[in-house]
Amino acid sequence: MAELQGKGINPGLAVIIVGDDPASRVYVNNKKKACAEIGIYSEEHALPAETTEAELISLIHTLNGRKEISGILCQLPLPKHICEENVLLAIDPKKDVDAFHPVNVGKIMIGDYDFLPCTPAGVMELIKESGIDPAGKECVVVGRSNIVGKPQAMLLLHAHGTVTICHSRTKNLSEVTRRADILVAAVGKANFITSDMVKDGAVVIDVGMNRNSEGKLCGDVDFENVKDKCAAITPVPGGVGPMTIAMLMKNTVRAALL
Ligand code: NDP
């Protein structure tokens, strides 16, 4: 960071949180902490739940125009009276460090992008750093959200995987997941992926962040029963979550260079 600052490049992240959702509060705090740890300037805009869409968009326009802010992140979900799409559209695509703006989504589709969405990018980094090459492998992504599942599938495709996307209407899900050399679970249900759904020697990436019946943080994969049959598996907590934050830091630095 000092090297960048020496060249007059000063990344700055504005994090917006609307309302008092406890999970969002934890995520925002973790993001601010990561900025502080690596010396990125950050500022938080904590707005009350009653904030109107117009007020929120007006704040985003102000942040779009501020030089010292290179990245803008609006923590989701937003209160129901605010249209998420309108809010994401208001963020300058060059400051869109979550890569949720349609311009950035389109660029990812083409494979020529400024930013990658943080969670799928973090998954790809984990795969790469573990020496795993998706090229030619059966990659199965369970979940098709705009934030995780769809971009994850696209990134695996760019890495030359043979990709299948599953969702709530997929028939014979276990048969599909058992084909996977690389299985990414992004469902949002604790212990959803059980041992019988995983092929021996598969690589299993658990994106899920859920609370189990005891209120403990857990993923989508039944870790204890799956871990012995796969070649590699990510834990929750401590797997994809920290990578998501690392990718946010990377995007914020990148935004300062655009
Ligand atoms: P969404 O709720 O938006 O999407 C869940 C997906 O799972 C949907 O596509 C849904 O299908 C699919 N699904 C639900 N039930 C089934 C089923 N029975 N069989 C097959 N597919 C099913 O969640 P997100 O993508 O936003 O998040 C997924 C998980 O990842 C959550 O636990 C979230 O907390 C976590 N997360 C973690 C992050 C991290 O940094 N580690 C970052 C972002 C999310 P359909 O489309 O048909 O409804």
Query: Which has the minimum average pLDDT: 3-12, 76-85, 144-153?
Result: 3-12
Which of 31, 94, 150, 199 is flagged as catalytic? 31
Which pLDDT does position 5 carry in this prediction? 85
- 143 CA to centre of ligand 1 in angstroms: 5
The amino acid occupying position 154 is: M
Nearest CA to ligand 1 atom 13: 168
Which pLDDT does position 3 carry in this prediction? 84
Which of 96, 98, 181, 222 is flagged as catalytic? 98
24 alpha-carbon distance from chain centroid: 14
pLDDT tens digits, residue range 215-232?
899 999 999 999 999 999
- Summarize the confidence of residues 5-29 as an average pLDDT: 93
Q: Is the pLDDT confidence value at 4 over 90?
A: no
At 37 the three-state DSSP class reads helix
Nearest CA to ligand 1 atom 16: 168
Q: DSSP class of residue 220?
A: S
Token duo for residue 84: 């998420």
Q: How far apart are the first and last CA of the chain?
A: 16
Q: Is the pLDDT confidence value at 2 over 90?
A: no
> What is the total residue count of the chain?
258
pLDDT bin (cut points 50, 70, 90) of residue 236 is very high
Q: Distance between CA 194 and CA 125 in Å, rounded? A: 25
Q: Distance between CA 110 and CA 105 in Å, rounded? A: 9
Which pLDDT does position 189 carry in this prediction? 97
Cβ contact 220:175 at 8 Å: no
Is the shortest distance between the CB of 75 and ligand 1 below 6 Å? no
- Angle between helices 118-129 and 149-158 in degrees, nearest 10: 40
Q: Distance between CA 218 and CA 37 in Å, rounded? A: 26
The model's pTM is 0.96
- Angle between helices 118-129 and 240-257 in degrees, nearest 10: 110
- 209 CA to centre of ligand 1 in angstroms: 9
At 100 the three-state DSSP class reads coil
Nearest CA to ligand 1 atom 1: 145
Nearest CA to ligand 1 atom 19: 168
Token duo for residue 190: 């604790």
- 1 CA to centre of ligand 1 in angstroms: 34
Q: Which atom of ligand 1 is nearest to the CA of 144?
A: 9
The amino acid occupying position 84 is: E
Q: Among this protein's residues, is 31 annotated catalytic?
A: yes
Please list, in sequence order, all residues whose beta carbon lies within 8 angstroms of the beta carbon of residue 65, skipping any fewer than 6 positions away: none
pLDDT bin (cut points 50, 70, 90) of residue 1 is confident
Of the residues 84, 168, 171, 176, which should be mutated to test ligand 1's pocket, given the most ligand atoms within 8 Å of the CB?
Answer: 168
The torsion angles phi and psi of 33, rounded to 5 degrees, stand at -65, -45
